[in-house]
Amino acid sequence: GIPDMMLAVPRGRHHGLFIEHKAGTRKPGPIQNDRMQELMEQGYAVAVSYGCDKTVDIISNYLRGERA
């Protein structure tokens, strides 16, 4: 379903940021991929993160207006 985290702060052309957290080699499943695609089509930035450091990088980049 819905990604694990949402940052409700608009930046550039995005309404906010959604982050799906995964561990190891796990990947989003088909339902998660569909939902993330729907969110992107609605104007949200979406990212998959593998670890806390990566999540910090994704959020920092997004807030600076760079690619999430």
**Complete DSSP assignment for 30-66:** HHHHHHHHHHHHTT-EEEEESSHHHHHHHHHHHHTTS
Q: Is the pLDDT of residue 5 over 90?
A: yes
β pairing state of 5-7 and 45-49? unpaired
CA dist 28 and 2 (Å) reads 11
In the prediction, which pLDDT does 66 show? 85
pTM, 2 dp:
0.93
Query: What pLDDT was estimated at residue 68?
Result: 64
Residue 62, pLDDT > 80, answer yes
Q: What percent of the chain has pLDDT over 70?
A: 99
Q: Reading across the β-sheet that carries 5-7, which strands appear in turn?
A: 5-7, 17-21, 45-49
